[in-house]
């Protein structure tokens, strides 16, 4: 009983640490947003180098990520396993991977401007995890007590992180090329137009998104294969048309179509960007709606 009480206490500490990370993410988000508005008003070039304000935002983002990582580790220790057995744990781990990959990718100057999106997205995910998805620590069902949990889920998290950054770049591309943004005379849209003018060219945004999606697709392919192998070990069949399995394959098909259309048919521009966004929406649907409202062996919300 003492060990259970200790685990529960440590899980509570982990939650507080994650909430602390949310606070720092909020400051990072506001700093990046203010930085963008300042660049737009002064019409300075982002390629001139990071400003003091942008560097402050990056430092805040790194601090938030470090605190966030501690919260994830404490959750894992409290459960005596890897922390991705339910939607809460997957959310805090996945969002940590997203921001970590982004921080490493900052060597690519052209992605610096999506820092506002990354900080805001992490804040939204953690807020939802803390208020909607939170569950107490529980032991895993026997079928999940396997090293394949680490392999399968970790690769899925990495793939999702790359798809997330690619989707952010595609969204920037859509807004940057939108006719209504270029034509509107509203002050708010004018501010958006000036902010978008700071972003890389449409071609560069498209190329960057494509590269992140390629990495994500390779990782997602491995996720699909590893999942089939794990299913055979756990349930003695490679494929069972489980809801989660079907949606994993649907997502793979969307991104395979995206890459094929780009590579062989020259299907680029807005059509390509929208397809990348549709793929990421399918991932979000798979994680939220499928876990919450569908039944199956893979459903792991932990809320029921």
pLDDT tens digits, 233-244:
777 887 878 888
Same domain, 127 and 231: no
Same domain, 127 and 155: no
Same domain, 115 and 205: no
pLDDT tens digits, 262-280:
888 777 888 999 999 999 9
Same domain, 121 and 155: no
Nearest to 213 by CA among 279, 299, 287: 279
Same domain, 122 and 159: no
CB neighbours of residue 292 within 10 Å: 14
Out of 110, 139, 168, pick the residue that ends a domain.
139
| Count of structural domains within the chain | 2
Reply yes or no on whether the pLDDT at 109 is more than 90: no
Percent of the chain past pLDDT 90, that is, above it, reads: 51
Same domain, 174 and 28: no
How does residue 4 score in pLDDT terms, banded at 50, 70 and 90?
Answer: very low
Q: Cα–Cα distance between 71 and 97 in angstroms, integer?
A: 13
Give 80's DSSP letter: T
How does residue 43 score in pLDDT terms, banded at 50, 70 and 90?
Answer: low
CB neighbours of residue 128 within 10 Å: 16
Out of 93, 115, 139, pick the residue that ends a domain.
139
pTM of the model: 0.84
Same domain, 118 and 230: no
Same domain, 132 and 151: no
Report residue 183 CA to chain centroid gap. Answer: 32
Same domain, 254 and 193: yes
Mean pLDDT within 216-224: 95
Query: Using H for helix, E for strand and C for coil, what is the string for 167-209?
Result: HHHHHHHHHHHCHHHHHCCCHHHHHHHHHHCCCCCHHHHHHHH
CATH number, domain of 127, equals 1.20.120
Same domain, 295 and 212: yes
Out of 139, 160, 187, pick the residue that ends a domain.
139
Same domain, 135 and 150: no
Q: Which domain holds residue 300?
A: 142-304
Nearest to 113 by CA among 39, 167, 218: 39
Q: Residue 120: what pLDDT?
A: 93
Same domain, 272 and 167: yes
């Amino acid at each position: 009983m003492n060990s259970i009480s200790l685990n529960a206490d440590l899980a509570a500490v982990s939650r507080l640490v994650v909430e602390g990370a949310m606070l720092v993410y909020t400051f990072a988000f506001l700093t990046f947003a203010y930085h963008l508005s300042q660049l737009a008003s002064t019409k300075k070039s982002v390629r001139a180098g990071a400003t003091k304000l942008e560097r402050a935002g990056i430092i805040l983002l790194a601090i938030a990520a470090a605190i966030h990582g501690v919260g994830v580790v404490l959750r894992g220790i409290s459960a005596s396993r890897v922390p991705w057995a339910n939607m809460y744990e997957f959310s805090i781990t996945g969002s940590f991977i997203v921001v970590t990959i982004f921080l490493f990718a900052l060597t690519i100057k052209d992605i610096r401007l999506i820092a506002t999106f990354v900080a805001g997205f992490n804040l939204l995910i953690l807020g939802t995890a803390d208020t909607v998805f939170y569950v107490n620590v529980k032991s895993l069902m026997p079928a999940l007590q396997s090293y394949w949990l680490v392999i399968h889920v970790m690769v899925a998290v990495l793939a999702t992180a790359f798809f997330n950054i690619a989707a952010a770049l595609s969204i920037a591309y859509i807004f940057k090329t939108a006719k209504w943004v270029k034509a509107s005379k509203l002050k708010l849209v004018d501010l958006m137009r000036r902010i978008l003018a700071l972003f890389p060219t449409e071609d560069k945004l498209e190329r960057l998104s494509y590269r992140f999606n390629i990495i994500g697709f390779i990782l997602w392919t491995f996720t699909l294969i590893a999942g089939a192998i794990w299913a055979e070990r756990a349930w003695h069949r490679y494929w069972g048309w489980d809801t989660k399995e079907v949606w994993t394959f649907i997502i793979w098909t969307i991104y395979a179509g995206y890459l094929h259309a780009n590579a062989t048919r020259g299907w680029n521009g807005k059509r390509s960007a929208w397809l990348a966004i549709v793929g990421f929406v399918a991932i979000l649907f798979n994680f939220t709606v499928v876990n919450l409202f569908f039944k199956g062996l893979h459903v792991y919300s932990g809320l029921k």
